[in-house]
Amino acid sequence: MTTSLDATPLIHIFIGDTVQNRSEHDCLRTVCETLTKMRNWAYIFANFHAAGRQIDLTVFTERTTLVIEIKGYSLPIRGGVNGQWEQLGPYGARKIGNAYIQALNAKNALRDEMQRIGQIDGYPNGLVVVTPIVPEGSTTTPDDFKVAVTGPDQIAQLLMRPSGALLTKDSCEALARKLGLEAVASADAALNDEVLVAERLHDTYLKAFGDFYRPLTSEFVSDRYRCGILEIELSQVQSMVAGGDAGVLIHGPSGCGKTLLATSCAISCVAVGCVPIFVSAKNFDGEFQRLLDREAALLSARSASSIITASRLLGKRVILFLDGYNECRDDLKVNLTRSLRAFALRYGTGVVVSTQQDLVRADLLTTKSVIVKQPSEEFKVSLAKIEERGDRAGNFRILLQVANSGLESRLVGQVGGFLPTGASRFALFDAYARQKLGTAAADGIRFLSIFAETLVDRACFSLSVREFYRLCDSTNLDHAARQQLLRSQLLQVRGDRVSFIHELFFSAFSAEAVIRSAHGDLTRIRAALGSPRFFSSKTFILGAIEDDRVMYGVLESLTDHDLLAACARGECGAIAQSIVKRKIERLLEVMFAEAQGLGFQIVGKGWNSIAIDINSLRHELKEFCFYLTAIGQGLMNGQYLDVVMAACRHMDETIAIFSDAHVADAKANKIPLRHAVFSAAYVMHREAAISQLINFIHSGRLSFRGQEGQGFGTTLHEEWSHAETPGQFYFLIGLTKFSACSKETVQYVARMLQNIRAYPYHLQLDLIDSARYFRDAEEPYRTDIVEALEASLDKLGIMMNTMIFEALSALGALEEEEQSHIPVIRNEIEDALSTDSVESDLAAWGLFSRQFDHPFDTSYWDEIQGLDDSRKKLLLTKACRGAEAPYLSFLGILIRQLSEFNDPNVGPAIARWAALPDKQSFMPQDAVEVFISAHEALGYLGADLSQFRGEPITAAEHAMLACGELYYWASRTDVDAPQTSIYTAAARSVLLDHSRCASAGALQLATSRMLSTDGARVSLMTHYPDICVAICREVLKWRHEQVSYFEHGFHDNTDSIAYFAIQVLGEAGVVDDLQALRDLCDHERHGISALEAIKKIEERTDVRYN
């Protein structure tokens, strides 16, 4: 035994009970090691009681008596001499005991006990030791002569500090006898057996965790990440995870490496003494403990509780990693956020969440966001390790152009040397698989394609282990090839299921299966490309075609705009890219020619009275719309701008010629010719190819597709410098608005605004809208823009004034006016509150609305929200009475704010809005929002729900009223289980009675978060999952009989309702629902959503197939 652990002739250890946790044992070891070096006598009392108080550790030496209170804080703490302390975590601040007072009371209790064996002068020293270190960010009381607060590194110094209340060796022996303490031979002998068991469990769990997760990070390449305004590195993210007081939210789009970053942080936190628990949000079914226990069981632990208990005994901080929050069922996301908070609060754990979206009820957790971007070109180069390729780097860079994710970039680095220039994404995955399979490549590829084909045919995403081996036997895959396949990491075995390691491998081998079975048959290949079952495999299918004749035949009739764009990017290989690019060039040539010969005609009076002459359109452009995405992609790479600019110039010349020739006709028919012809050419009528392209750009779809190419900025700037005509300006503004180059165009926008009256109406709109984004523009351009906008007030019409004010506000040009308007707002509020009349109620509603729709909306918000509760409640009550249909925007927010006062007296003002929504409302989403909010508010207030909320006649009306009633009872605080409550029986019965045709349509309107003004509405799925699922099952049986509440194009078609039902089954369905969903897998409109629902059900249930 070593001297650092054993009691020596000079050091005597006594215990009242065995040491119960690792932090106390570590402190005991440190004290023993320190005293051994001092070479003086010492007595150590551990885990004992004195004068009715438990004391962790006391050290008696010739010069000092030191009472030690030991704490194992894993999160930052703050506190002083008085009051409770607080521990800071992802949950916020949690009240904990004051360790200073505990140590002070302990040393006073010990002195009282010492007095019973003899006269004692003075007091012991007190010490709070925080192990293993005082967490970063902690703020505690400074040391004083009574108690010090520090980490273990200061124990040696404090053992040297003299104190009062000294004992001799004989007195120490006497005190030990009086307290009934037991002498032990070493620090280890003082350790409780439970701690030893905990250490074994801890070590076993961490080994299993590392064995599973460490290989996943072996090829992880770190990027730079954004945290607030800072760019940070991986080590800083890992430090935030391991030691921060806040949770960490890893946020980014799909395929950017969020899971790998989270996994890397989980592995790294083990090295600093933390214990990670890693779970997937998609497996959350409402029972958080079950989610944790399922993961624990897969890593050799009895339960998550056993891991947490062991970690706490050992003084280890637990960090929970939740991967893929966005994949959790929508109706369970609030519950999941609450569970995270409760878990962190109960156990003092850290929390790390990866997600593509914001947390629902993010206010429940204190988090810092780490933003992960889509892989940049530079990062893809880093992932592929191109700098190591030397002379061969060129081909690797070309291959990276087709890589859409970090995974594909890594594959390029590993197998790019075996691939020719212009290889497809399919070839990339095929080459990687062959490398991993080695000598078993031929049999392995054959089997993987059969495995993928089996999954596709069955519409499933995994097989049981038993079926997997049966498939191996049926395909004559020998033992050696089978073992090589399992070692290749192309498949994963998780529990009882076997699946592809990544969905992209599933897609690639599904494509291989298609090509093998088609044998060059164009009909079969086209059928696969059009099948929902192969939706994610389409680029791989084209990429797998090696015969250029087959490729020509397939592309000749292809109308899938996303697939054509993938071909243009090179994802489907060099042959497909060449064919599509030549097609685009030909279409643009014809577009240019069409613009030269386009004709217009007068078709009426006033606005919208100009149309394009359809006889002037070119029939060769009937396929142009299918290539818009590919052309837009080329524009973002700096291609085709010259052709489009030339076409716009010719279009504008045609407009000018037509306008000059029809001045008299236009005047006679009151046609604003300059505006109307421009609108027909570029905005409203989309028959001409140039019109389709300009509309595509201005619709914002370019901003959602890919990154800007390296040549985009230079080419765009050059075209701006040469632009002269309205159509060219309109095209360039649309192309620039959402790009990184928008700030560079400020000089052109400033110049055009000074002459804005000379431009067509829609170009004026775009110029004013663009001005909003130049608040930080350099001078003198910002000032020029402000002055030009101010000069345009009252010159372009009343409607334009609103846009100009909004632009001026965004530019910060109305700050003085806004300040001077505050007294006006206060007077308006006072006037509304001082009288009780219909007019004052209308004025109150106007005030409330101006918080959201007014140039000075911020000031209106500050003044109204700053009112004291009584005045604010009165104003909101009057506003609720003053609101009038059909203008109901923001009324749902008002009702919720009013209900938060929890005053039943406001119920009558809310009650009238619980009537059935107006079926002819031109803002149906607002009408539904108000209807639902009113029911929720009345329920929360405990107000009675009127039985006369409309006169329902149709099934849809009955179903809508029933949904409102269910919301009412779900909001009642005195109803614990609304799903089974007698109070909801009538409404539930109504929905079931109309489930064949109308209930799902009502549920769709009532539960959609998209229809919630602030996204805060709780779905009916949360409180009534059984009835929602039952109704949606009926929809799949009676799809064509579904009706909706509204009948004017708002969620009123059977496809929309069926899509909603499929989503609900995906989120909450069970294994028994799989067959009904499989029946839809080949449906043109529902197949993709049905497959996605199947995937979700499989992932969260223990699936068994016959």
Q: Where are the domains of the chain?
A: 11-191, 195-374, 379-573, 578-814
pLDDT band at 591 (very low <50, low <70, confident <90, very high): very high
The tokens for 879 are 């506003």
**What pLDDT shows up at residue 243?**
76
**What pLDDT shows up at residue 1015?**
39
Give dist(CA 289, CA 301) in Å, integer: 14
CA atoms within 13 A on the CB side of 156: 9
pLDDT band at 139 (very low <50, low <70, confident <90, very high): confident
**What pLDDT shows up at residue 793?**
85
Sign of the dihedral defined by the CA atoms of residues 566, 713, 681, 706, in that order? positive
Q: Which pLDDT tens digit goes with each residue over 167-176?
A: 999 999 999 9
**If 0-12 CB within 10 Å is exposed, 13-18 middle and 19+ buried, where does residue 199 land?**
middle
**If 0-12 CB within 10 Å is exposed, 13-18 middle and 19+ buried, where does residue 425 land?**
buried
The whole-number average pLDDT for the span 345-359 is 87
Q: Which CATH superfamily is domain 195-374 in?
A: P-loop containing nucleotide triphosphate hydrolases (3.40.50.300)
Q: How many helices (H) and strands (E) does the chain have?
A: 49, 22
**What pLDDT shows up at residue 8?**
60
pLDDT band at 396 (very low <50, low <70, confident <90, very high): low
Give dist(CA 920, CA 123) in Å, integer: 83
Give dist(CA 481, CA 437) in Å, integer: 8
Residue 886, preceding bond cis, omega within 30 degrees? yes
Task: Using DSSP, state whether 409 is helix, strand or coil.
Answer: helix
The whole-number average pLDDT for the span 438-446 is 93
The sheet that has 463-464: what strands, in order across it?
463-464, 497-500, 491-494
**What pLDDT shows up at residue 852?**
85
Give dist(CA 959, CA 997) in Å, integer: 10
Distances (CA, A) of 47 to 5, 16, 59, 548: 17, 5, 12, 81
**What pLDDT shows up at residue 707?**
67
In eight-state DSSP terms, residue 1014 is T
The sheet that has 42-50: what strands, in order across it?
147-150, 125-130, 65-71, 53-61, 42-50, 11-15, 182-184
| More confident call, 219 vs 16 | 16
Listed in sequence order, the residues at least 6 apart from 514 whose beta carbon sits closer than 8 Å to its beta carbon are: 524, 525, 528, 534, 537, 541, 544
Give dist(CA 438, CA 485) in Å, integer: 9
Q: Are 900 and 872 in contact (CB under 8 A)?
A: no
Q: Which pLDDT tens digit goes with each residue over 1013-1037?
A: 333 445 788 889 899 999 999 999 9
End-to-end CA distance of the chain: 62
Q: Which pLDDT tens digit goes with each residue over 189-210?
A: 776 677 767 777 888 899 999 9
Q: Which pLDDT tens digit goes with each residue over 666-711?
A: 888 888 888 999 998 898 878 899 999 999 998 877 754 456 777 8
Q: Which pLDDT tens digit goes with each residue over 406-433?
A: 666 677 667 777 778 888 899 988 998 9
pLDDT band at 3 (very low <50, low <70, confident <90, very high): very low
One-letter amino acid for residue 370 of the chain: V
SS3 labels along 814-856:
CHHHHHHHHHHHHHHHHHHHHCCCHHHHHHHHHHHHCCCCCCC
pLDDT band at 2 (very low <50, low <70, confident <90, very high): very low
**What pLDDT shows up at residue 402?**
64
Residue 76, preceding bond cis, omega within 30 degrees? no
CATH C-level class of 11-191: alpha beta
User: For residue 321, what are the β-bridge partners?
Assistant: 278, 352
User: For residue 59, what are the β-bridge partners?
Assistant: 44, 66
**If 0-12 CB within 10 Å is exposed, 13-18 middle and 19+ buried, where does residue 762 land?**
middle
Listed in sequence order, the residues at least 6 apart from 199 whose beta carbon sits closer than 8 Å to its beta carbon are: 22, 310, 314
Give dist(CA 184, CA 173) in Å, integer: 13
One-letter amino acid for residue 49 of the chain: H
**If 0-12 CB within 10 Å is exposed, 13-18 middle and 19+ buried, where does residue 710 land?**
exposed
The whole-number average pLDDT for the span 170-187 is 88
pLDDT band at 1 (very low <50, low <70, confident <90, very high): very low
Residue 1009 has pLDDT above 50, yes or no: no
**What pLDDT shows up at residue 304?**
87
Give dist(CA 342, CA 371) in Å, integer: 25
User: For residue 57, what are the β-bridge partners?
Assistant: 46, 68
Q: Are 792 and 756 in contact (CB under 8 A)?
A: yes
Distances (CA, A) of 920 to 885, 927, 1001, 1047: 11, 10, 17, 8
pLDDT band at 1049 (very low <50, low <70, confident <90, very high): low
Give dist(CA 943, CA 948) in Å, integer: 15
**What pLDDT shows up at residue 923?**
81
Residue 799 has pLDDT above 60, yes or no: yes
Q: Which pLDDT tens digit goes with each residue over 60-101?
A: 999 999 999 998 887 788 888 888 898 887 767 788 889 999
pLDDT band at 517 (very low <50, low <70, confident <90, very high): very high
pLDDT band at 405 (very low <50, low <70, confident <90, very high): low
**What pLDDT shows up at residue 1014?**
38
Give dist(CA 240, CA 764) in Å, integer: 48
**What pLDDT shows up at residue 951?**
87
Give dist(CA 868, CA 893) in Å, integer: 19
Considering the chain, what is the average pLDDT of its residues? 86
Domain 11-191 matches domain 195-374 at the CATH topology level: no
Instruction: For residue 336, give the nearest of 362, 357, 309, 318 by alpha carbon.
Output: 362
Percent of the chain with pLDDT over 90: 44
**What pLDDT shows up at residue 538?**
95
**What pLDDT shows up at residue 403?**
64
| More confident call, 723 vs 809 | 723
pLDDT band at 388 (very low <50, low <70, confident <90, very high): low
Q: Which pLDDT tens digit goes with each residue over 266-285?
A: 999 888 888 999 999 888 88
Q: Quick one: which H or E segment has residue 277?
A: strand 274-280
Instruction: For residue 498, give the nearest of 513, 511, 482, 512 by alpha carbon.
Output: 482
Distances (CA, A) of 686 to 617, 649, 679, 695, 920: 11, 18, 10, 8, 29
Instruction: For residue 555, give the nearest of 518, 516, 591, 522 by alpha carbon.
Output: 522
